[in-house]
Amino acid sequence: MSNSTIEQIFPPKASLGQRLRTALTFKKSSELKQYNWAGYLFISPWLFGFFTFVLVPMVASFVLAFTDYDILSPPQWVGWANYERMFTDARYWRSVQATFYYVFTAVPLRLAFALAVAMLLNTNRRGIGLYRAVYYAPSIIGGSVAVAVMWRQIFGDQGVINVVQTLLGLPSISWLGNPRTAIWTLITLAVWQFGSPMLIFLAGLKQIPGEYYEAASIDGAAPWSKFLNITLPLLTPIILFNLVMQVISGFMVFTQSFIISGCTDKPLDTTLFYSLYLYIRAFTTFEMGYSSAMAWVLLLIIAFFTAIIFKSSSQWVFYGGEEK
């Protein structure tokens, strides 16, 4: 639409009331509808994917959560029986315990390590871009099956870790077979995948004005004092974003646990995460109704903790320009 056409429809000297009436009339015109259809046409691939692969499966899952369904026979309505079953399913509660332990341990460690590396890489030295790419690489491939298999081999009975321990005269450990150490192999893998939050932290660090640090240096502030009083407060919006994203991904972790445990009960379900147990119920025992109910409970758990994080953010997140 040309500028002359816009000026004819909305004269510059028209009053506010005249402009509103003209806008309401123009909204109903065929020309505006033509532009609307063009916009819908452009986003039609996304709309098709959303309705086909997101909205419809969600509605179907919600309905199946109240049924007994095994794929082979028609679903039978059971009401709240699937949700009541969770209270007496001991293995379900072990998966909840393992998932909570993983999230509340791996997420803080990953964020702390990512922030430490980001601060080390926040320089203008030669070749620093190469180092950033190298440190980011584990996050690109860290969630793949190949890396999970490699991790299982490294911590296996004949893996690199035990070989090094033997050379040092230390006893070998069954890292994946010991309930006390099995989950820590997955936590270590999660910390190793620090690249994504590290890059986000690095972007936030570059937005902090250098004048703040110069003024603090003139006042004689120590490096640790600069970090606590300048870096950390100004990074709180970035910390909030990373925290929310990492908590959500932590609750949905699947691949690593699937490869390490192989859908078995060893070692004592300590690596049986929620998503893995949901997968077992859905695609091993074909209890689609029960697994759908589990999926909706997981959604509520994630929503609950995300809401807590956002609710508490007013107490610890500082945005530039606001007074505390």
Map residue 68 onto helix, strand or coil. strand
Q: How far apart are CA 166 and CA 21, in angstroms?
A: 84
pLDDT tens for the chain, 324 residues long, are 545 554 444 455 556 556 555 555 655 555 556 667 778 888 999 999 999 999 999 999 999 999 999 988 999 999 999 999 999 999 999 999 999 999 999 999 999 999 999 998 888 777 777 877 777 777 776 557 778 888 888 888 888 888 888 888 888 888 888 888 889 999 998 898 888 899 899 999 999 988 999 999 998 889 899 999 999 999 999 999 999 999 999 999 998 888 877 666 567 788 899 999 999 999 999 999 999 999 999 999 999 999 999 999 999 998 865 554
Distance of CA 187 to CAs 28, 43, 44, Å? 58, 40, 41
Rounded to an integer, what distance in angstroms lies between the CA atom of residue 84 and that of residue 93? 13
pLDDT attached to residue 10:
45
Identify the pLDDT of residue 193.
84
* DSSP letter assigned to residue 170: P
Instruction: Using alpha carbons, select from 269, 276, 113 the residue that is nearest to residue 188.
Output: 113
Q: What's the token pair of residue 68?
A: 């007994």
- Which residues in 229-244 are b (16+ Cβ under 10 Å) and which e? ebbeebbbebbbebbb
Structure tokens at 236: 């709180």
Give the chain's end-to-end CA distance (angstroms, integer): 48
**How far apart, in whole angstroms, are the C-alpha atoms of residue 11 and residue 219?**
59
Question: CA-to-CA distance for 112 and 318, rounded, in angstroms?
Answer: 19
Distance of alpha carbon 136 from alpha carbon 117, whole angstroms: 11
CB atoms within 10 A of CB 8: 9
- For residue 100, how far is the Cα from the chain centroid? 15
Q: What is the 3-state secondary structure (H, E, C) of 188-237?
A: HHHHHCCHHHHHHHHHHHHCCCHHHHHHHHHCCCCHHHHHHHHHHHHHHH
Sorted by where each begins, the domain ranges of the chain are 3-82, 84-316
Per-residue pLDDT, 6: 45
Question: How confident is the prediction for the chain on average, in pLDDT?
Answer: 85
Q: How far apart are CA 257 and CA 157, in angstroms?
A: 18
Q: What 8-state DSSP symbol labels residue 295?
A: H
Q: pLDDT tens for residues 59-117? A: 999 999 999 999 889 999 999 999 999 999 999 999 999 999 999 999 999 999 999 99
Question: What's the CATH fold of domain 84-316?
Answer: MetI-like fold (1.10.3720)
266, 118 Cβ separation under 8 angstroms:
no
- Residues making up the chain, counted from first to last: 324
d(CA 43, CA 38): 9
Q: Structure pTM?
A: 0.83
Q: Tokens 């309905």 label which residue?
A: 63
- Cα separation, 197 vs 135, whole angstroms: 11
